[in-house]
Amino acid sequence: MTLVAVLPGDGIGPEVAAEAIRVLDALGIEHAEHAFGGNAILADGTPLPDQTLEACRAADAVLLAAVGLPELEGRPVRPEQGLLGLRRELGVYANLRPASADGIDLVIVRELVGGLYFGAKGTRDDGTWFDTCEYSRPEVERIARRAFEIARERRGRLTSVDKVNVLHTSRLWRDVVSELGASEYGDVPLDHALVDSFAMTVVTAPETIDVVVTENTFGDILSDVAAAVTGGLGVAASASLGDEPPGLFEPVHGSAPQIAGQGIANPAAMLRSTALMLRHGLGRPDEAEALERAVETGLRDAPTPDLGGTATTRGMGDAVLRALEG
Ligand code: NAD
Ligand code: IPM
Ligand code: MN
């Protein structure tokens, strides 16, 4: 039997998770919710309680909405540490962030468990604070391999994004990607771009981009930019995959504290992440496609305020469910 661990989290998280849970119910997929993020800190002192991590490990897939509570900012323990810990514990090194709209169909493959986020960090005696960007050859190779596979499957091309003109780790990154391209993926056209000018390309010519592979921090920033040119954070989904299940499926957006509690958050990013879970996490491609089509209908018939409409979170959820069941 299929079991999904659902982590509603904070802010708009529980509001958009509720719509995903209705979809799971409609599809007859078993699920259980677990404490995670800021609310777990307030209740338990930790953003990733042991029981939650165990439940995630035991599940077939993990569906996460969003974490982040403004009142916890500046504290030593933050909700976001729970998310980083969960990604690391599950070994989900490949974060797929597709973005599509009229004429645009790209996917950012973001390295998710290395780089600046996970390198040495601290404070020196002289008062300097530091974060370190670190990558090993196997870490670059496995994410590059994943990106080449995706590009090959799409019969597309791969753009590797780095900052090789400045960063030492980018030299490793570019070498490993080039070597792998030459040795195993000669059929996949490969090019390289520097992150600063590539960010401009995402804004000015997103239709020219196919598959992108990049390190953790660049991927974080570029994926919000890609979201911005394809409908905004309310519609941007992601899949975080390792070599084994469970994968982690999460919208690109956060807990959106300014609109939390109003019932107006766009659930499309969460529902598209649910579709990615059906496809990449649970091996249910037909239902994934049906849900993706239903979300299109929901976006058209019941747009939320971020898209210029007046529908509530529940209103769009209703439209999606009607399309899915109808
Ligand atoms: P955010 O993504 O929460 O919000 C950025 C902007 O997008 C806001 O204007 C927000 O209202 C809007 N937005 C986001 N999702 C939306 C939705 N579904 N529907 C309509 N509008 C939406 O980013 P932020 O404000 O920089 O961060 C808020 C908190 O979320 C922080 O604590 C941050 O660490 C956290 N965060 C968590 C995740 C995650 O859990 N995966 C991701 C990003 C940020
Ligand atoms: C994202 C978020 C996270 C990240 C934060 C909340 C840790 O911004 O998923 O894009 O930086 O990876
Ligand atoms: Mn982000």
Which residue, 140, 20, 91, 43, is CA-closest to 246?
91
What are the E-state strand segments in the chain? Answer: 3-9, 30-33, 61-66, 94-101, 104-111, 121-123, 129-131, 158-162, 190-194, 211-214, 239-241, 247-249
Pocket lining: 220 vs ligand 1, CB cutoff 6 Å:
no
Distances (CA, A) of 16 to 8, 123, 220, 255, 292: 8, 38, 21, 10, 16
**What's the pLDDT tens digit per position in 187-221?**
999 999 999 999 999 999 999 999 999 999 999 99
Return the residue whose CA atom lies nearest to atom 11 of ligand 1.
256
pLDDT for the residue numbered 183: 98
What is the band of 62 on the pLDDT scale with cuts at 50, 70, 90? very high
What is the band of 326 on the pLDDT scale with cuts at 50, 70, 90? confident
Question: Which two three-digit tokens encode residue 325?
Answer: 């069941």
CB 269 within 8 A of CB 305: no
Pocket lining: 252 vs ligand 2, CB cutoff 6 Å:
yes
Q: Which ligand approaches the C-alpha of residue 255 most closely?
A: 1
Pocket lining: 220 vs ligand 2, CB cutoff 6 Å:
yes
What is the Cα–Cα distance from 296 to 278, expressed in whole angstroms?
Answer: 17
| Residue 248 φ/ψ, nearest 5 degrees | -115, 130
| Residue 320 φ/ψ, nearest 5 degrees | -65, -45
**How much is the pTM?**
0.98
Distance 187 CA to ligand 1 centre (A): 38
Return the residue whose CA atom lies nearest to atom 34 of ligand 1.
68
**What's the pLDDT tens digit per position in 263-296?**
999 999 999 999 999 999 999 999 999 999 999 9
What is the SS3 assignment for 8? strand
Pocket lining: 254 vs ligand 1, CB cutoff 6 Å:
yes
